[in-house]
Amino acid sequence: MAGGSNFERKNILVTGGAGFIGSHLCDRLIKDANVICVDNFITSSVANIDHLLREPHFEFINHDITQPLDLSRYHELERFKLPYQGVQEIYHLACPISKRHFDDYKIATVLTNSIGVKHVLDLAVANHAKVLYASSGVLYGHRGEETRRTVKETDECRLDHLTTRGAYDEGKRFSEAILQTYADVYGLDVKIARIFRTYGPRMKIFDGNLIPDMVLNALDGKDILISGDEETMVSLAFVQDIVDGIIRLMQSPIEITVVNLGSDQEVRLVNVAQKILQITGSDSRVRFEPHVHQYIDPGLPDTSRAKDLLGWIPLVRLDDGLKRMVDYANSNKNLVTF
């Protein structure tokens, strides 16, 4: 089963495909490929892929990637002719993400970022498939005033692996090491997307995420809380732009491996809050509080590699993205169950 396929549609596996970014990725891929979405809903939602379940080129597998994945066991995949065609591409986005309930999923997080990555790569070796891993900008560590704000892919990844967030932060770094090792040993074509702060529809609400929390508070007439002060800066990339970058990275030549994806433009967080207040017509107040404990500011991504090698630039304006985020939160805030 070769990575290059003469079949009409590629077979593509997406782990974490029912998550925030993963479900938007499935929406894009289904247009041209057969998509096998793997998720166990530990922090994702079936609502994110409900509209895809009737698509003939989409199939959902409820599976925990920390357990070996044998696709031959699933008869519902027979129409994709896996024994003959195999899987050409694997997008590995699976990782429990819940800011409000992070402590509840620490073991699942550290296992997904170790054993789970191994299982994905073993599947890639068996199918000679390309692999893209959704990593994170947090690997660069905190960028305070004493360090350069902009980070390049060639910068060292410095972080404290023994903090309470080590399962995620160090887990992402270890995952990258596993990918590179498999690339060295088996000749796999692996891609690593270091993704910075992303927002948009299907982002978890009521879960401690920055933009959803600000939008919900505005809609409910509550104070918008900002960690920091009036000069606190943030970079925000819309989910559709990130998905476009991910797909472009997967399609790139084998010599391209690590790429930053995110917005390289900073805006004052208080200005974002004011835009949200304007869009919602809310009379909420903006209030400031100290940074949360172990807050990591990864700085700005240097996206010149993405621009030069992938032809990628973010296209969605902040005002347009926030309007879509507000519409989503307004439509779904009463549907969320705890």
Catalytic residues: 168
Total residue count of the chain as it appears in this document: 338
Q: How many C-beta atoms lie closer than 10 Å to residue 172's C-beta?
A: 25
Mode of pairing for the β-strands spanning 130-136 and 190-195: parallel
Cα 239-221-290 angle, rounded to 5 deg: 70
Q: Which amino acid is at 39?
A: D
Q: 10: helix, coil or strand?
A: strand
CA dihedral 245, 313, 203, 165 (to 10 degrees): 70
Q: How many C-beta atoms lie closer than 10 Å to residue 119's C-beta?
A: 20
**Rounded-to-integer distance, Cα 16 and Cα 95, Å:** 7
CB 65 within 8 A of CB 112: yes
Cβ-based burial of 332 (10 A; exposed 0-12, middle 13-18, buried ≥19): middle
**Chain centroid offset of residue 322 CA:** 18
**Rounded-to-integer distance, Cα 178 and Cα 183, Å:** 9
**Tokens standing for 335?**
């549907």
Match 């993205």 to its residue by tokens: 321
Buried-state track 20-59, b at ≥16 Cβ within 10 A, e below 16:
bbbbbbbbebbeebbbbbbbbebbbbeebbeebeeeebbb
Residue 194's beta-bridge partner residues? 135, 260
